[in-house]
């Protein structure tokens, strides 16, 4: 690989970490102009993917509660009681490192939201992964005037549309 290409790939890699959304068009240009540099592009793409993964997990933790927080909120006597709810499919959570994180949209008014079993059933048609389900529930949607599914379910004026969107999850949503 020439010094110029190595320099360019290094700059793209730095930009990928700084602003991942702007990198894709750059990579497309590079692939179109220099297809023989696939190895360098693969490294940049891998780095970009890793950066996105870390960002998604950080966002997930920011909008989630730890096992202890859930235990206290629900008035349960032990951490095991919280994990039993998870094992029985009554709560969605993801273990990251030594902590288990429960998305906050599962709760309302200091308890499990009443419609959660139906929400989880529909989400599981799309993915069993808590991080993916959390993104689906918290992603702003045009159909909901920029609100998320979780927000829309709390508003009687938009709940019907939110339920319709949840119903479509298994249909290539």
Question: Which are the contacts of 9, defined by CB distance < 8 A and separation ≥ 6?
Answer: 1, 30, 37, 40, 41, 43, 44
Please state the φ and ψ torsions of residue 41, each to the nearest 5 degrees.
Answer: -70, -35
- For the segment 128-148, what is each residue's pLDDT rounded down to a tens digit? 999 999 999 999 999 999 999
Which DSSP letter does residue 17 get? H
- For the segment 50-101, what is each residue's pLDDT rounded down to a tens digit? 878 888 899 999 999 999 999 999 999 999 999 999 999 999 999 999 999 9
Q: Within 10 Å of residue 25's Cβ, how many Cβ atoms? A: 9
Which of left, alpha, beta for 129 (phi over 0: left; psi -120 to 50: alpha)?
Answer: beta
Residue 29 pLDDT: 59
Q: Decide: helix, strand or coil at residue 80.
A: helix
Q: What pTM did the predictor assign?
A: 0.73
């Amino acid at each position: 690989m020439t010094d110029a290409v190595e320099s360019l790939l290094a700059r793209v890699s730095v930009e990928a970490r700084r602003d991942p959304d702007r990198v894709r068009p750059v990579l497309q240009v590079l692939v179109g102009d220099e297809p023989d540099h696939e190895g360098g592009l693969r490294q940049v793409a891998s780095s970009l993917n890793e950066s996105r993964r870390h960002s998604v997990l950080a966002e997930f933790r920011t909008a989630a509660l730890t096992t202890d927080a859930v235990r206290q909120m629900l008035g349960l006597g032990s951490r095991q009681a919280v994990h039993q709810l998870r094992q029985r499919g009554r709560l969605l959570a993801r273990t990251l490192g030594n902590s288990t994180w429960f998305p906050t949209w599962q709760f309302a008014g200091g308890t499990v939201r009443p419609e959660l079993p139906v929400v989880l059933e529909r989400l599981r048609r799309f993915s069993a992964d808590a991080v993916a389900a959390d993104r689906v529930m918290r992603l702003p949607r045009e159909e909901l005037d920029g609100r998320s599914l979780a927000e829309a379910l709390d508003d009687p004026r938009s709940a019907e549309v939110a339920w319709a969107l949840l119903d479509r999850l298994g249909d290539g949503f």
